[in-house]
Amino acid sequence: MIEREIIHTTTASKRLFDVLQDVLQFLLLFLRIFLEMFIMLIQKVLPKRLKDISGEVVLITGTGHGIGRELALHYASLGSTVICVDINEKNNLQTVQKAKRLNLGNVHSFICDVSKRAEVMALADRVKAEVGPISVLVNNVGIMPTHPILQQSAEEIQRVFDVNVFSQFWTIQAFLSHMEEKNRGHIIALSSIAGVVGLSNLVPYCATKFAVRGLMEALHEELREGPYRNMIKTTTIFPYMTNTGLCKHPKVKFPSILGLLDPKEVAMRIVEAHRSDALEATIPSCLLHINNWTRLLPDHCGLMLKDYIDSGVESDLI
């Protein structure tokens, strides 16, 4: 009987000790988080420290026009070797010619339908043989049908997922081994502000951009918990509507504050996010904070704010 009481007391004491140990660890973690937040606030006031990317080999999808073309020009201007990938050979060669006139980084053109896995895998082999392993992947390519869900055909919905989502899976699977070979790398994915908040006439598009956000968050965790922790980084970009031709009928209530963005400015912000190792960034930067704050409000309050801003796209079938 006495032995049982001793065993029971010992067990209870051990449980209490384990609980106190867990509480102490949580408090120390909370203190560390608080200190990290304080350091980040100070860093936001100070000028950003941007890493040198002049020696990087950067592969960009969708370089035939818009943000992709501006990204190619910006990376080339910083001395990176740029690999331009697009399905449109004529437009892609125009981008390459513009980039080569800068006389800074080497620029290469490859034609590929990145929505097709076999083509992407073949592309990875060609790039490695002709240029060498890449160190930076920028998944930029995207399409945006803009009309109500019941007017979206099955082919349209399949295509927008093939281009906007599955292409990113295929490029990551094809080129991640290049980065592992180098023991360093960076994967940058373009989601959208439509991957942060749902919008009318963009149901399939929003679904693809939310999918990209989930893909990148899970990929970051997989890399963080694996052998390439801190070696291969990820950045997810959420741009507001940009003047690339995809937004055929933009709806903007406050054009002086939330007008269509210039592709050149968006490209600069993307490269800046890359060079500062940002995990995610909205363009403009305030939009992510506004969204996070709004999500804390009751649903109807968030919708009231959304209705007041009244920004989005009209149907392209009108």
How far is it, in rounded angstroms, from Cα 163 to Cα 141? 7
| Bridge partners of residue 251, in order along the sequence | 312
3-state helix, strand, coil in the chain (%, to 5): 55, 15, 30
Contact criterion met (CB below 8 Å) for 305 and 295: no
For strands 185-190 and 81-86, give the pairing. unpaired
Q: Which of 205, 228, 240, 308 is catalytic?
A: 205
For the question of residue 240 being annotated catalytic, the response is no
Q: Is the dihedral of CA 29, 32, 36, 41 positive or negative?
A: positive
- Report residue 249 as tokens: 């009928």
Where does residue 294 rank: exposed (0-12), middle (13-18), buried (19+ CB within 10 A)?
middle
Enumerate residues 6+ apart whose C-beta is below 8 A from 235: 186, 187, 188, 189, 273, 274, 277, 278, 279, 280, 281
Catalytic residues: 205
